[in-house]
């Protein structure tokens, strides 16, 4: 059994969503509306040329049968229809790329939101489902935002044709018009119920698609290639992907079965409708003097009108469903972020900076467990603080709070005595040179990875200096294109795959290039051996000079040059002091250091022996 979807009132009305789409499209490309208006008029007029032309021809054939009149009628029909067909094809080729361009503009808005929204949203499964639903609204030419435009303009064209058909049917009988409308409205109710059911599955389907996409991307990502082969993950990942797609297919089958039932009912209604209407037309020919030309005209008109009404009802119900996709898009775009203060303070110009955590408590969204409770400590201006502890001690969360990727649940963080929430986020981010645990390399050149900007904006001399300081320049200079060598094989065929240790050094070079006033290294050298890590930290520390710096590491060889060490456990600082003070204390830090020091000695001895 599928869980019952809780129906929630949309955040925006359908009128609001239409205005949102049309106003943005008008802002981006006004000519699109001109092309669509001309296209709509031509497609609306086209069927009436044949309907009226055929009526005139039949009446002439059964009447005077004048060759010259028949020639004029046939020639006029041919010329008009040719012009219209050419115009429709030409305008379609003009507006289609423009409509895709508009959809890409909406995609760009979504991409900007993805990159700028509060970081907490990126780790919230509920938000990720919202994001998947938002992407569903822009990843197709036929549904979502672009589908909405198609529906809007199709309805505009149908509206013009609708007026023409109503005028013709009324000349036959208003009761025929009423019967056709009622017949089609009943089918509309059936179809709308199915479309609503389909949309109500959107949340579950978005979650299925997100999981399936993750598995597909993992199986397709070359960076997982070695693990997949060595640990024989292909069967496990393949079965997991197959299971997600199977669940997705089962949900699709249920929806399609409901559509099948509605379509069968529609066939029965159509047979009943056409049978009764055509019987009435025959009656009019036999007993009311209806001409064969008129019979043919009404015969075609009623058939076209019934199909048009069905098309209008389908398009209208489709539009209402598309509006729900648009609603999902707008809800994600409007996702609330932590607003900058109305009157932000300027970042202090006096460096280095001191930092204070004052009674900070924090728990992740949708979690009841506190990572920190009333955490308080200070980092003096220009101090090098090492934060150590076992996995799960809360070290990385500390970095997220300090860099404002998350906000404290309670308490405050101060920079030179000022609550960091009083600064604009963009200004505050500029203070930091951070190397995170999960290092990400972009599929661009080495220089662009280090400088985090387009190639023409970069300082080559500083790029080289940063690479040398990070200990990776020798490797980069050996490559055929040097600092212009593309990385990864995603964008360029000659892209280079660096080792894990080299990638970490590249990330260090990026931090050096930015030259932020506060330096944070969050276990960025995990892929290096302990001796190499110690050398990197020493070199980096010399370059940091008088800046405030925070180093996080499992391995304690990198802590000896720090001014102070904070040992974290279960979100609390258990020990605080210099390296020598903590060794003398004989606590958890000393125990961890003594265990690890045996490895350092062994590694150093092996290095000397070799």
pLDDT at 228 over 80: no
pLDDT in tens, 159-218: 888 787 788 777 777 887 777 777 777 777 777 788 778 777 777 777 788 788 888 878
What's the CA gap between 571 and 401, in Å, rounded?
A: 13
Q: Residue 324 class from Cβ within 10 Å (0-12 exposed, 13-18 middle, 19+ buried)?
A: buried
**Would you state the pLDDT for residue 608?**
39
Site of tokens 């049917």: 169
User: 178 in helix, strand or coil?
Assistant: helix
Q: Please give the average per-residue pLDDT across 568-589, as a whole number.
A: 89
**Would you state the pLDDT for residue 193?**
80
**Would you state the pLDDT for residue 3?**
39
The total number of residues shown for the chain amounts to 610
What's the CA gap between 199 and 10, in Å, rounded?
A: 12
What's the CA gap between 135 and 138, in Å, rounded?
A: 5
**Would you state the pLDDT for residue 600?**
55
Most confident of 250-259, 390-399, 572-581, 601-610: 572-581
Query: Phi first, then psi: what are they for 431, rounded to 5°?
Result: -70, -20
Q: Say what percent of the chain tops pLDDT 70.
A: 91
| pLDDT band with cut points at 50, 70 and 90 for residue 4 | very low
Q: Is there a contact between 308 and 162 (Cβ–Cβ < 8 Å)?
A: yes
How would you classify the pairing of strands 564-569 and 572-577? antiparallel
| pLDDT band with cut points at 50, 70 and 90 for residue 525 | low
What's the CA gap between 184 and 30, in Å, rounded?
A: 35
Which H/E stretch holds residue 158? helix 144-170
pLDDT at 351 over 90: no
Kindly give the residue spans of alpha helices, DSSP state H, lying in 201-233.
202-220, 225-230
Q: Any bridge partners for residue 516, and if so which?
A: none
Least confident of 288-292, 352-356, 563-567: 288-292
Site of tokens 């929430």: 421
pLDDT at 532 over 70: no
In this structure, whether the domain defined by 104-333 belongs to CATH 3.40.50.720 is answered with no
* Cα angle value 208/212/214 (rounded, 5°): 120
pLDDT in tens, 31-62: 988 988 898 888 888 888 888 887 888 877 87
Cα dist from 248 to 34, 136, 264, 321, whole Å: 41, 15, 25, 19
Cα dist from 268 to 183, 262, 315, whole Å: 11, 10, 21
The dihedral of CA 546, 547, 548, 552: what is its sign? negative
| pLDDT band with cut points at 50, 70 and 90 for residue 230 | low
| pLDDT band with cut points at 50, 70 and 90 for residue 308 | confident
Q: Please give the average per-residue pLDDT across 356-380, as a whole number.
A: 90
> Half-sphere exposure of residue 288, counting CA atoms within 13 Å on the CB side?
10
Q: Please give the average per-residue pLDDT across 399-416, as a whole number.
A: 92
Q: Is there a contact between 359 and 375 (Cβ–Cβ < 8 Å)?
A: yes
Greatest C-alpha distance within the chain: 121
The dihedral of CA 579, 580, 583, 587: what is its sign? negative
User: 548 in helix, strand or coil?
Assistant: strand
**Would you state the pLDDT for residue 355?**
93
Q: Cis omega (within 30 of 0) on the bond before 550? A: no
pLDDT at 590 over 80: yes
| CB proximity list for 156: less than 8 A, separation 6 or greater | 36, 37, 40
> Half-sphere exposure of residue 370, counting CA atoms within 13 Å on the CB side?
12
Least confident of 224-228, 395-399, 451-455, 584-588: 224-228
> Which fold, 438-515?
Rossmann fold (3.40.50)
Q: Please give the average per-residue pLDDT across 317-321, as a whole number.
A: 78
Q: Minimal CA–CA distance to 435: which of 499, 500, 383, 511?
A: 511
Q: Say what percent of the chain tops pLDDT 90.
A: 11
pLDDT in tens, 456-499: 788 889 999 889 888 888 898 898 888 888 888 777 778 888 88
Which H/E stretch holds residue 546? none
How would you classify the pairing of strands 432-435 and 418-419? unpaired
Which H/E stretch holds residue 554? none
pLDDT at 11 over 70: no
pLDDT in tens, 243-285: 888 888 888 888 888 888 888 887 787 777 777 777 887 888 7
**Would you state the pLDDT for residue 415?**
94
* DSSP 8-state class, residue 486: B
Cα dist from 65 to 69, 289, 295, whole Å: 8, 20, 18
Q: Is there a contact between 443 and 490 (Cβ–Cβ < 8 Å)?
A: yes
| CB proximity list for 297: less than 8 A, separation 6 or greater | 51, 52, 54, 55, 168
Cα dist from 495 to 29, 172, 225, 490, whole Å: 38, 73, 16, 8
Q: Minimal CA–CA distance to 435: which of 508, 490, 358?
A: 508
Most confident of 20-24, 127-131, 486-490, 537-541: 20-24
Site of tokens 């202090």: 348
Where in the chain are the domains?
104-333, 438-515
> Which tokens belong to 205?
């389907």
pLDDT at 295 over 90: no
Cα dist from 518 to 354, 381, 399, 545, whole Å: 10, 10, 12, 11
> Which tokens belong to 97?
């790329």
Q: Is there a contact between 110 and 332 (Cβ–Cβ < 8 Å)?
A: yes
Cα dist from 183 to 172, 176, 186, whole Å: 18, 11, 6
* Cα angle value 99/101/103 (rounded, 5°): 75
pLDDT in tens, 120-161: 888 887 888 888 888 888 887 777 888 888 888 888 878 888
Give 574-602 as a DSSP string. Answer: EEEE-HHHHHHHTSHHHHHHHHHHHHHHH
**Would you state the pLDDT for residue 557?**
67
What's the CA gap between 397 and 411, in Å, rounded?
A: 15
Q: Minimal CA–CA distance to 161: which of 41, 67, 262?
A: 41
pLDDT in tens, 210-220: 788 888 878 87
């Amino acid at each position: 059994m599928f869980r019952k979807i809780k129906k929630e009132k949309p955040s925006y009305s359908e009128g609001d969503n239409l205005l949102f789409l049309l106003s943005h499209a008008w802002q981006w490309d006004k000519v699109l509306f001109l092309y669509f208006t001309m296209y709509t008029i031509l497609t609306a007029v086209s069927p009436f040329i044949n309907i009226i032309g055929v009526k005139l021809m039949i009446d002439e054939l059964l009447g005077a049968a004048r060759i010259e009149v028949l020639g004029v009628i046939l020639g006029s029909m041919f010329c008009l229809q040719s012009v219209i067909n050419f115009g429709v094809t030409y305008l379609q080729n003009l507006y289609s790329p423009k409509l895709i361009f508009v959809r890409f503009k909406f995609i760009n808005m979504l991409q900007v939101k993805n990159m700028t929204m509060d970081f907490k949203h990126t780790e919230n499964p509920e938000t990720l489902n919202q994001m998947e639903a938002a992407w569903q609204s822009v990843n197709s030419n036929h549904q979502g935002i672009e589908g909405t435009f198609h529906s809007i303009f199709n309805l505009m064209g149908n509206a013009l044709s609708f007026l023409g058909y109503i005028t013709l049917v009324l000349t036959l009988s208003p009761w025929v018009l009423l019967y056709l409308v009622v017949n089609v409205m009943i089918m509309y109710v059936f179809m709308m119920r199915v479309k609503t059911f389909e949309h109500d599955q959107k949340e579950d389907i978005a979650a299925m698609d997100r999981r399936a996409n993750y598995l597909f991307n993992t199986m397709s990502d070359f960076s997982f290639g070695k693990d997949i082969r060595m640990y024989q993950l292909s069967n496990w990942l393949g079965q997991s992907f197959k299971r997600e797609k199977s669940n997705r297919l089962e949900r699709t089958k249920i929806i399609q079965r409901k559509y099948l039932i509605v379509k069968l009912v529609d066939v029965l209604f159509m047979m009943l409708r056409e049978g009764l209407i055509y019987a009435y037309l025959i009656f009019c020919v036999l007993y009311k003097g209806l001409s064969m030309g008129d019979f043919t005209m009404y015969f075609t008109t009623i058939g076209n009108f019934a199909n048009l009404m069905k098309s209008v009802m389908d398009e209208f119900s489709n539009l209402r469903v598309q509006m729900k996709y648009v609603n999902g898009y707008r809800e994600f775009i409007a996702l609330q972020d932590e607003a900058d203060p109305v009157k932000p303070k300027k970042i202090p110009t006096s460096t280095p900076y001191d930092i204070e955590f004052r009674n900070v408590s924090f728990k992740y969204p949708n979690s009841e467990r506190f990572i920190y409770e009333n955490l308080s400590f200070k980092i003096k201006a220009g101090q090098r603080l090492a934060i150590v502890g076992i996995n799960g001690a809360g070290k990385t969360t500390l970095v997220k709070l300090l860099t404002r990727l998350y906000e404290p649940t309670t308490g405050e963080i101060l920079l030179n005595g000022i609550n960091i929430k009083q600064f604009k986020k963009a200004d505050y981010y500029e203070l930091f040179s951070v190397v995170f645990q999960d290092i990400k390399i972009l599929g661009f050149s080495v220089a662009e990875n280090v400088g985090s900007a387009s190639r023409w904006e970069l300082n080559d001399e500083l790029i080289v200096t940063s690479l040398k300081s990070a200990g990776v320049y020798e490797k980069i200079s050996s490559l055929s294109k040097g600092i212009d060598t593309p990385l990864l094989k995603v964008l360029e065929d000659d892209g280079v795959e660096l080792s894990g240790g080299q990638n970490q050094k590249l990330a260090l070079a990026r931090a050096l290039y930015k030259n932020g006033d506060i330096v944070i290294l969050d276990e960025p050298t995990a892929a290096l051996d302990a001796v190499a890590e110690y050398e990197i930290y020493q070199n980096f520390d010399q370059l940091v000079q008088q800046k405030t710096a925070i180093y996080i590491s499992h391995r304690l060889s990198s802590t000896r040059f720090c001014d102070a060490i904070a040992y974290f456990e279960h979100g609390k600082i258990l020990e605080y002091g210099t390296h020598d003070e903590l060794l003398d204390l004989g606590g958890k830090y000393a125990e961890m250091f003594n265990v690890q020091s045996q490895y350092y000695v062994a590694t150093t001895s092996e290095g000397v022996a070799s």
